[in-house]
Copies of this chain bind each other. A is one copy, B any other.
Amino acid sequence: MQDQTLDFETSVFDKEYITLGDRREAIVRGGRHLFERLPQAFDGVRQIGVIGWGPQGSAQAQNLRDSLGNTVRVTVGLREGSSSMQEARAAGFCEQDGTLGEMYEVIAASDMVLLLIADSALATLYEQVFAALRPGTTLGLSHGFLLGHLSQIGAGFPTDVDVIAVCPKGMGASVRALYVQGADVNGAGINASFAVHQDRTGHATDRALGWSVALGAPYTFQTTLHSEYLSDLSGERAVLLAGVHGIVESLYRRYRDQGLSEHDAFRHSAESVTGPISSLISKSGLDGLYRSLDADGREVFADAYSAAYPVGLELTHEIYDEVRSGNEISGVVMAGRRLARFPMGKIDDATMWQVGQKVRADRVPSEIPLDPFTAGVFCGVMMAQVDTLIEFGHPYSEIANESVIEAVDSLNPYMHARGVAYMVDNCSTTARLGARKWAPRFDYLLTQQAYPAIDSKEPVDRTSFDAFEGHVLHDVLRVCAELRPSVDIYVG
């Protein structure tokens, strides 16, 4: 990653510039009133083939179909004999009207192909997929994993197609749930980044923007495919998924060691993060969360933040190195090969998460504690990820979405409703593998380094907290928050 000046031209949508701290970024604001422009954005596209029925595939196929009405056909393509065929039929796609079919046939028959199968399947099948694309097709991805894999093995995309990406900054379930809510609250949705990697048709940018608007993205910001996979893989391996998991495990154990009951330890760790802490960050940012604490709470927050931040910085740098070197991607590909023999087990049977089920069942939402220590640890790790991504030159919109907004508006609310296991099991295999790999690292380093620093007789070194109040992130989050109506996600 290097700093780069991104910009784009669109003749269909209204590009505007937003000011984020010291930078300007070009974006497109979404909304249902723009659906009437979709036929123009998809000019020349008679059929969009959505390949795969995972969390993203199922959500995107339905959103696209609902947004496009009968202007462009949305067809789902699945492996012959896929067990998802029945689910796709239940969602209204069917062979009879040509909206459901065998994946390679759908690929060959589509003008735009959204390739939303699992990453490990991408790594295995990409040659067959490429062979099935007609020249002039627009190939769409929802994150940059395939670019990372191709780069690593010295391969590339076919040169006679467009390659674009629209990457919703939330899990598939949120992409669908917020879209449905958007029928009542225009603008509810999951922000997305877009990238144009190859533009053979000259329509790549508008097709990408149209795709994003049709998914219901409140605002769409620009990135590159390379920048996207670096931040996306790093983000889910850090605070979005693995980080939050490791943080709450370490805090639960700490609170147990301090004498709290299982029930209370869970409430002060996991419940506090996924409930009031996430909700406050969503509404008023990390600084708003901090200011909502009383004087004593701010002191506790500042110490916890200061001790957790260095752990977060060290681990997010390690994660970033592992992602950009290709190690993380090849690890996912190898893990995919091992899965048949060693299926991923559930984490939900462990004691802490069994406790969590009971706590959720007994929950009184107004009584969930806003624990300032928990908040400090969570925000310290979150800010460390932000600073790592800034250091590596990512756009502010991408950083804010990959580090904060996706967490507090998409993933953590699901975690709050269903528990960590549900959240993990509804993410992509790549994300699940990353969570299993990195969560314990956050747990161990916090336990070995951050907490002993707080418990020692010496005052905590608050160097990292000095930069908190004036941090550019707060301004970035305020601008991002203005771009969508405040909608609490509904978890059915």
Which of A331-350 touch B at CB < 8 Å? 331, 334-335, 338, 341-342, 345-347, 349-350
Pick out which of these stretches binds chain B: A39-47, A159-167, A371-379, A447-455: A447-455
Q: Tell me the complex Cα distance, A331–B317, Å.
A: 12
A248 within 8 A of B: no
Q: Tell me the complex Cα distance, A314–B345, Å.
A: 11
Chain A residues within 8 Å of chain B by Cβ, number: 37
Which of A213-238 touch B at CB < 8 Å? none
| Nearest CB of chain B from residue A154's CB, rounded to whole Å | 12
Kindly list chain B residues whose C-beta atoms are within 8 Å of the C-beta of A318: 334-335, 338, 342
Kindly list chain B residues whose C-beta atoms are within 8 Å of the C-beta of A448: 345-347, 349-350
A439 within 8 A of B: yes
Q: Tell me the complex Cα distance, A201–B368, Å.
A: 74
Is the pair A325, B317 in contact by a Cβ cutoff of 8 Å?
Answer: no
Is the pair A334, B347 in contact by a Cβ cutoff of 8 Å?
Answer: no
A87 within 8 A of B: no
Q: A317-B342, A331-B327, A334-B325 are in contact. Are A444 and B449 (CB under 8 A)?
A: no
Kindly list chain B residues whose C-beta atoms are within 8 Å of the C-beta of A253: 253
Residue of B nearest to A443 (CB): B440
Q: Identify which of A322, A437, A448, A451 gathers the most chain B CB atoms within 10 Å of its CB.
A: A448
| Nearest CB of chain B from residue A377's CB, rounded to whole Å | 15
A469 within 8 A of B: no
Residue of B nearest to A449 (CB): B345
Q: Which of B341, B436, B456 contacts A444 (CB 8 A)?
A: B436
Residue of B nearest to A446 (CB): B350
Q: Tell me the complex Cα distance, A452–B352, Å.
A: 11
Which of A441-475 touch B at CB < 8 Å? 441, 443-445, 447-449, 451-452, 456
Kindly list chain B residues whose C-beta atoms are within 8 Å of the C-beta of A445: 345
Secondary structure at chain A's binding surface: helix, strand, loop or mixed? Answer: helix
Kindly list chain B residues whose C-beta atoms are within 8 Å of the C-beta of A327: 327, 330-331
Kindly list chain B residues whose C-beta atoms are within 8 Å of the C-beta of A334: 318, 321-322, 325
| Nearest CB of chain B from residue A217's CB, rounded to whole Å | 35
Q: List 17 interface pairs A-B (beta carbons < 8 Å), by A numbering.
A: A253-B253, A257-B351, A313-B342, A314-B338, A317-B341, A317-B342, A321-B334, A325-B331, A345-B445, A346-B448, A347-B444, A347-B448, A350-B451, A350-B452, A439-B444, A440-B440, A440-B443
Q: Which residues on A are within 8 Å of B, measured CB to CB?
A: 253, 257, 313-314, 317-318, 321-322, 325, 327, 330-331, 334-335, 338, 341-342, 345-347, 349-351, 436-437, 439-441, 443-445, 447-449, 451-452, 456
